[in-house]
A and B are shown apart, each in its own frame.
Chain A
Amino acid sequence: MTDLYTWLAALADRGTLPDIFRYAFFIRGLLSVLLLAPLLGGMSHLVVARRLSFFSAALGQAALTGLTIGLVVLGEPLNAAYGGIFGFCFLSALAMVYVRRHASLPSDTLVGVFLSMTLGLGICLLVAVTKRFNIHQVEAVMFGSLLTVTDTDLAILLGIGIVIAVVFAWVYNQLLLDSLDRSLARVSGVPSAFLDYLFVMLLTAAIVVSLKVIGALLVEAMVVVPAAAARNLARTTRSYLSLSIATAFVAGVGGLFISSRLLVPSGGAVVLAMSALFFVTLALGGVRTLLSRDAEG
């Protein structure tokens, strides 16, 4: 990786690339966005279809609690504490799916209970943790910081991305059918419960590996807004997926440049760029509807 950073820095020195490419942290951030765009953008339309938007927010909050547990149990540096985030998020996700499948209360009510519980626990632990550890580590997970992304993070991101892509290629149609109507999926032999657990496990993995760039508070946006923006224009599942990924990609790269220029947290900048794209697609969708009405009239 060092050779790549050196080569890009040389191109920046010659003026071929913008100055910001002199910094390895920016290149790592850019690479992570290039990996995150297809990962989270691709998952986002299934998150919306399976009504897991609020669930994703709860997972983001659980990450904060997981971080504090990780810091207490595993200690610094931040990478060591990531074991706590992975562990706590997976446990929370499994518990939420189990309770959702077995309780009669509405799903958003149950997720709300979990969100409150994990956040309450996180805040209590946070107060204890900040007395012993550097608060900037917590900030990096809450808001996202390019400075904390390492080559190992990129390798993990790539590995998890490949695993998720392979699994989705295998069960995509079943996941979508199960999201549309559980009884129809059942008669087609779709293992609904297995898919429920599998999807949230993959979603949890994707969310946790994106925390360093996007941040726990904003990761929900990354798995909801691309699909919302794409839906304004898409007419087929194929275009839905392509536009979701394109939205995540454009907002990711754009947000990264904004973040490095204005020195604002990368997560906030990416989500703002994504929200701007949502309103652009909303306007384009409105114009298209007007034009088609005129053509019909």
Chain B
Amino acid sequence: MAGPPLLEIAALTVQRDRRRLLTDVSLNVPPGSAHLLVGPNGAGKSTLFAAVLGLIEFSGRIRFHWRASGRIGYLPQSFVVDRTLPLTVGEFLALSRQRRPVCVGIGRAQRRCTAALLASVGLAGFERRPLGALSGGEQQRVLLANAIDPVPELLLLDEPASGLDDTAVRQFEQVLVELKRAHGTGVLMVSHDLGQVRRLADQVTLLDRSVRRSGTPAAVLAGDLAASLAGGVEYAT
């Protein structure tokens, strides 16, 4: 791969209350490729994302080598929204896309953009639905729609397929492949579905507070993955 990677993480260490959450983690995400993280619960995958987003303190180096927009798309692992919050899906998507306060209305151009965006994740006609009343899978798709528009140069996805049915997972994977191919988006993604890891990953890192294995999917997923991790973990294959 010519040129530096889109995201370069070197010797990343995160410590909280004298406890090391991540130790000496290094990985790269080149443009137009998907780097998937696997590991048990508590392995530090979400902590890694928080460090990349600049939400927590860390030692080591995180560098972005932008070639275009420098936009990061992000889908968090958990998104808790009050069931009674009076906020529609359309308003939520307009929050980061229009200058005018959403409390005075959504512009026509934004409404068209929202409709197209929701259709692309299989939620056509959901604009006026309250965000808090959606199912977990539907909320996940709204967050995916939020992450992929405008087209990101780097996409961070923390367990994006959790709560999605098979059709939605296939749709999501198609969107991801298209982003990589057509726009050169680099993807860093957490997944517990080893089948999905094999389908999508160009590189895989097995993380358990530090890097246990890293390389191509075939190399990292060879052998008994669960047994190689402290405490073990259930994986969908």
**What residues make up the interface of A, taking CB atoms closer than 8 Å to B?**
49, 104, 168-169, 172-174, 176-177, 180-184, 186-188, 230-231, 234-241
Contacts and interface: CB of A to CB of B under 8 A. Distances in A.
B218 interface: no
Interface of B: 17, 50, 53-55, 72-74, 76, 79, 81, 84-88, 91-92, 94-96, 98-99, 101-105, 128, 130, 146, 156
B105 A238 contact: yes
A239 B86 contact: yes
Contacts of A186: 53-55
B74 A173 contact: no
A234 B82 CA distance: 14
Contacts of B86: 230-231, 234-237, 239-240
Nearest to A192: B55
Contacts of A183: 50, 53, 55, 74, 76
Contacts of A172: 101-103
A155 B85 CA distance: 35
Contacts of A234: 86
A173 B88 contact: no
A173 B33 CA distance: 33
A176 B96 CA distance: 10
B103 A237 contact: yes
Contacts of A173: 94-96, 98-99, 101-102
B103 A187 contact: no
A254 to B, nearest CB: 24
Nearest to B94: A173
Contacts of B96: 173, 177, 184, 188
Nearest to A189: B96
B44 to A, nearest CB: 16
12 contacts: A169-B101, A173-B95, A173-B96, A177-B95, A177-B96, A180-B87, A180-B92, A180-B95, A183-B53, A183-B76, A184-B76, A188-B96
A17 to B, nearest CB: 33
